[in-house]
Structure 1
Amino acid sequence: MANLPTLRRRATLRRSLGLLGDFRYEQSDPDRFYGHLAADTVDVLRDIWTDAGPTPSLAGARILDVGGGPGYFGRAFADAGVHDGDYVTCEPDVGEMAAAGISIRASVRGSGMDLPFADASFDLTYSSNVAEHVSDPWRMADEMLRVTKPGGLMVFSYTCWLGPFGGHETGLWEHYVGGEFAARRYEDKHGHPPKNRWGESLFNVSCADGLRYADATSRGIRPRDAELVASFPRYHPSWAWWMTRIPWLREVGVSNLVLVLRRR
């Protein structure tokens, strides 16, 4: 499901290949990898807002980045002209916040599963590759909707476990054998545990899980009331977005699922 014409024009094969090529630099050159990913994320969010937001542009909108990490996304928003006071990041790990030496004016320490903000505080809330790192991602999604204003958007993007990057740095196939196997093999090979440890900071989150959550939220079963605007594979060209509609195929082919919900 996706009706985002502006974003569809951006979602080209050339963009997909560029992002895919950057994955090899995640560990060796994080500035390059996360810098490009952050800039692309800002472009995607602006396109989503253009197509589905309550106002013509993001100018003046309050934005919450849940799990903003070391600040690459904040820097990308600043480069795109978003004012300091309009962008807020919430991150639980102080070490992660300081890892890249990037200073973000409105940076709050807190958990995505218990956001330290009042109801209806933000026009746009989003998380990028965070859900697979928390034990209850749908509680985090509920919290994000809680702090989103009525009419505002929540954009929830996460890595699917059965996709090729589900195991993150532990390998492209090892996690298909099992998360614990992948973690042990990584440690045997590198002499230290992986950053993302199975069962502690990396979890099995499927495409089906996200689509069920969106359906339950749209039907009023979850605590927050929102409608699903779109669901699509984040890194794919738009002509491959149909994959989200095919059970089993979407689990291995989508790689990263994006859910766009509008708070009622």
Structure 2
Amino acid sequence: MPSDPSALSSPSRFPTLRRRATLRRSLGLLGDFRFEQSDPDRFYGRLAEDTVGLVTDLWNDGSGASLRGRRILDVGGGPGYFGQAFAAAGVGPGDYVTCEPDVGEMAAAGIRLQSSVRGSGMDLPFADGVFDITYSSNVAEHVPDPWRMADEMLRVTRPGGLMIYSYTCWLGPFGGHETGLWQHYVGGEFAARRYERANGHPPKNRWGESLFNVSCADGLRYAEDAAAGQRAQDAEFLAAFPRYHPWWAWWMVNVPGVRELAVSNLVLVLQRR
């Protein structure tokens, strides 16, 4: 881990990813967000393509190699959009595995993948050290113990492999997910009740059941503990940055308080020792 914590969010550490992290990309992803409910194929399809690009860039900047031949585990891969995007990027069907606990979620888009496994991210049904890359996209805020899931992801990552852990921060504008941009600041239960009154049905993500308060500080503390050998698995803490922001806004991760409100989605990158 760098002696200067701000180096963890320095764009100079990730030259390939920096070229991707532009304002144009950020505005495009923000514009797609409004289609999450009305046109999920559009929203999740583009998000999946962007995620594959992010994973590719991080792996390339760290190893100088492509994803071809790498074994990848997607924890909480949902209905298969990410699997399609990895296949389009040249990852073979036997090299990409998705683990998802909800059968209904797996079948929601009618996408069939050869390597879908039903299982919990908090108890992954895989042996130790079998994947080159493990990643999770917007899942941590939906499980009651996100750091147990992170431990499990590190466990199944081979020494030298990467864990990429991306999640929505509760105090960011999208922390309440579909319940609105400000309602969750009053309280998660308030936001859920207000959504149900307005829409005639409960939100997909119910506070305290499938949506939880996960902060930036929680994630940074976890990564620092893993780097210090205080978790079940040891890892080097390589990076922490806002997933959807342009590279020149990555400094927000280094400012307590500001990061909770402004980062929106935090990416943690750890390398298994």
TM-score (norm: length of structure 1): 0.99
**Distance in structure 2 (CA, Å) of the matches to 1:113 and 1:5:** 33
1:62 aligns with 2:71: yes
1:20 aligns with 2:30: yes
1:77 aligns with 2:89: no
- Match of residue 6 from structure 1: 16
- Correspondence for 2:51 among 25, 38, 41: 41
RMSD of Structure 2 on Structure 1 (CA): 0.6
Instruction: Supply the AA of the counterpart residue of 2:141.
Output: E
- Match of residue 181 from structure 1: 190
**Where does 1:159-198 land on structure 2 (aligned, <5 Å)?**
159-198=168-207
What do the CA deviations read for 1:144-168 (whole angstroms, capped 9, x no partner)? Answer: 0000000000000000000000000
Instruction: Supply the AA of the counterpart residue of 1:28.
Output: S
1:117 aligns with 2:132: no
The SS at the match of 2:94 is helix
Instruction: Supply the AA of the counterpart residue of 1:15.
Output: R
Deviation of 1:208 (Å): 0.3
- Correspondence for 1:250 among 259, 264, 267: 259
Deviation of 1:222 (Å): 0.7
**Distance in structure 1 (CA, Å) of the matches to 2:96 and 2:180:** 34
TM-score (norm: length of structure 2): 0.96
The SS at the match of 2:207 is coil
1:99 aligns with 2:108: yes
Instruction: Supply the AA of the counterpart residue of 2:237.
Output: L
Aligned residues: 263
What do the CA deviations read for 1:166-218 (whole angstroms, capped 9, x no partner)? Answer: 00000000000000000000000001100000000000000000000000000
- Correspondence for 1:210 among 192, 197, 219: 219
What do the CA deviations read for 1:209-239 (whole angstroms, capped 9, x no partner)? Answer: 0000000000001111001111000000000
**Structure 1 residues without counterparts, runs of 5 or longer:** none
**Distance in structure 2 (CA, Å) of the matches to 1:57 and 1:35:** 22
- Match of residue 51 from structure 1: 61
Asked if structure 2 preserves the Cα contact closer than 8 Å seen for 1:67 and 1:92, the reply is: yes
- What fraction of aligned residue pairs are identical, expressed as a percent? 78
The ranges of structure 1 where at least 4 consecutive aligned residues each deviate by more than 2 angstroms after the TM superposition are: none
- Correspondence for 2:166 among 139, 146, 157: 157
Instruction: Supply the AA of the counterpart residue of 1:86.
Output: D
Deviation of 1:52 (Å): 1.3
Deviation of 1:5 (Å): 1.2
**Structure 2 residues without counterparts, runs of 5 or longer:** 1-7
Deviation of 1:57 (Å): 1.6
The SS at the match of 1:223 is coil
**Distance in structure 2 (CA, Å) of the matches to 1:190 and 1:245:** 38
**Distance in structure 1 (CA, Å) of the matches to 2:176 and 2:48:** 21
Asked if structure 2 preserves the Cα contact closer than 8 Å seen for 1:160 and 1:254, the reply is: yes
- Correspondence for 1:230 among 230, 239, 243: 239
